[in-house]
């Protein structure tokens, strides 16, 4: 499991806008990375809408938000549009980034193989992990207060 102080694994994924997005693109900024199991599910929708509704808080803390799931870029584009999400959603369709961040279900509900666990990581301007929370239950949401406190302390 990744822990505080470790270098965040680098990645490049396609966004819901069908553009490549890399963690390195955010060098010099704080980044909140949210892995979520599946677009259009109730808890994932609530989680990402919580971030949308508090985007000014994260902006004031100089933090960018990235949502990552194993959904296709096309599914994520529709989900982002319907929920009016003001941050990129990235497709980890090949499941490599979820595995690199150790936030991965081998088998999820309905016997679906290879789904991201719900988790939150705060990565600082230098690419180091300052907060890591990986949830075993997909029904739980990250501790957004702890994420914000971590950002305030950076």
- Check: pTM over 0.75? Answer yes or no: yes
Catalogue the active-site residues: 44
Yes or no: say if 79 and 101 are a contact pair by the CB < 8 Å rule: no
pLDDT tens sequence across 27-85 = 999 999 999 999 999 999 999 999 999 999 999 999 999 999 999 999 999 999 999 99
Nearest Cα to Cα of residue 88 among 6, 26, 9, 151: 26
**Number of alpha carbons in the 13 Å side-chain half-sphere of residue 94:** 7
Q: Which CATH architecture has domain 12-152?
A: 3-Layer(aba) Sandwich (3.40)
Listed range (9-13, 86-90, 105-109) with the worst mean pLDDT: 105-109
């Amino acid at each position: 499991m990744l822990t505080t102080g470790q270098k965040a694994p680098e990645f490049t994924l396609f966004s819901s806008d069908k553009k490549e997005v890399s963690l390195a693109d955010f060098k010099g900024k704080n980044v909140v990375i949210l892995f979520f199991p599946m677009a259009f599910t109730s808890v994932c929708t609530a989680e990402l809408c919580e971030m949308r509704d508090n985007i000014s808080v994260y902006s004031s803390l100089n933090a960018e938000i990235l949502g990552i799931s194993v959904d296709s870029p096309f599914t994520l584009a529709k989900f982002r549009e319907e929920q009016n999400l003001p941050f990129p959603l990235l497709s980890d369709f090949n499941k490599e980034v979820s595995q690199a961040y150790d936030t991965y279900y081998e088998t999820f509900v309905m016997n679906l193989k290879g789904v991201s666990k719900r988790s939150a990581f705060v990565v600082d301007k230098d690419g180091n992990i300052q907060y890591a929370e990986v949830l075993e239950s997909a029904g739980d949401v990250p501790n957004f207060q702890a994420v914000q406190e971590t950002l305030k302390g950076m």
